[in-house]
Amino acid sequence: MKHREIQANGITLHFVELGEGPAVLFCHGFPAIWSSWKSQMDAVANAGYRAIALDMRGYGRSSAPVEAEAYTPYETVGDLVAVLDAVEVETATVVGHDFGANVAWNAAMMRPDRFTAVCCLSVQYRQPGGPSFLDKLRAAGKDQFYWFQMMKPEADQAWADAATSVPGMVYWSSGEAPEDTRWNPFDTSRSLLRPAPSDSRTIKSNSGYIAETVAVFESTGFHGALNYYRSIDHFTQHSTAFAGARIGQPSMFLAGTLDGLNLVAQPNAESMRSNLTDLRSFVMLEGVGHWPQLEAPARTNESLIAFLQELDEETTMSESHALSPFASLKINHSAIRVPDFDTAATWYKEKLDFRVKQSLSFAGLTFAFVYPAGDDGFHFELLAGPGAEERPPYKDLHDSYKMSGWHHPGFSVDSVDDTIAELKRRGATIVSEPHDVTAMGLRVAFFADPWGNLFEVIQQIGK
């Protein structure tokens, strides 16, 4: 492993590199250092990637500014960009855990040109803007939430005994801790600041990392690390320009089923997709708590590498396809033959809210372009007029497989069930009720128009 230090953004940043290939940039959380990712760095380097892990500002060999305002994503994302510039890497997949996940999500949101994919552990993406999360907690009387304790000036001293606080934090937030005493972020009696039992298998299996981290914090103290929590309100007040921002790059979320943060918001793939529009991988590790990379490194590595390799396959395909003489081919429209224009146009408008945008008559036929209610990028061309041979309308999906040729187009929807319910209300023919195709991560259903044309509606479900 190669250690480097650079001067950037007015501070010193320390980071470590391993391997060659597409860059993967790791961001640790609280209270950790770069080597919390050592297993993942080894795994991705062996799989053909360039692993880069830094001591985030406030930690380890990187500088620790005193002011809390120096720890918002404006500064920390700038640090990540500086590291990429220093190693002459144009783009990277950014990986984060805990508060490092918050940095990684914001890096992907703020700089999609540099962070072309994102994988986060344990902490979900929270859109900037709107009411402050902390203000919501205050209004709900939940002032015992652990963030409020971390923000206090006396937190520096509360965490100061690193030999107790570091292993205690790892153990009590892990899946190994008993359910009735495991960390609860809303209950100060089940806090992170309790000594870990001497026989903890989680601590023993990570003894080298724990010892290294304890030594680092005994040297640096916790003020810089705790400043991430103290910066939350400041960033909330100054992030209105990003209100409602979504992340469109390929994304992955991985967490443990026993993570105490699940008590704040239970991870759900469907709800995440409203803000992560290209969520590729959603992984919940059974029996694991807040530290997947330490508690279940093999399972974490397997999921991460699968995500990275999927990205690689897409890049390889796109590069080779760009050389094809047919590289300019893009779907534009599909044509549907119908016997009568007015009848067909009325059906598509009344049943599907389609819009007729252009029409003309030629050689006894009417040609018309009809567009979905919310999509101008694709349309159907109605070819209307007498002389068409009738095709028997489908009433059962299995009957449709008897016909060769064009089978159906598919529409992406937010909810297959809601779409089919509305089609039923409007009197459309349902050929197949909603059902899951688990192997493909899809929920689908089929309906038909009166002229034997079959359509599929498709919804992504959690992998």
Catalytically active residues are 98, 229, 290
Write out the two tokens for 137.
């907690």
- Phi and psi at residue 251, in whole multiples of 5°? -135, 160
Sequence-separated contacts (24+) of 433-439 with Cβ below 8 Å: 436/461
Write out the two tokens for 359.
């029409």
- Please count the CA atoms within 13 angstroms of the CA of 135 that sit on its side-chain side: 8
User: For residue 441, which amino acid is it?
Assistant: G
Nearest partner of 455 among 412, 408, 418, 420, judged by Cα: 408
CB 244 within 8 A of CB 129: yes
Nearest partner of 83 among 57, 64, 60, 109, judged by Cα: 57
d(CA 249, CA 256): 23
Sign of the CA dihedral 214, 218, 219, 224?
Answer: positive
For 357, the 3-state DSSP assignment is strand
d(CA 41, CA 24): 9
Question: What element of type H or E holds 321?
Answer: helix 297-321
Q: What's the full length of the chain, in residues?
A: 463
CB 57 within 8 A of CB 30: no
| Angle of helix 99-110 versus helix 73-86 axis, rounded to 10 | 70
- Phi and psi at residue 362, in whole multiples of 5°? -160, 130
CB 34 within 8 A of CB 5: no
Strand-strand pairing, 442-448 and 429-437? antiparallel
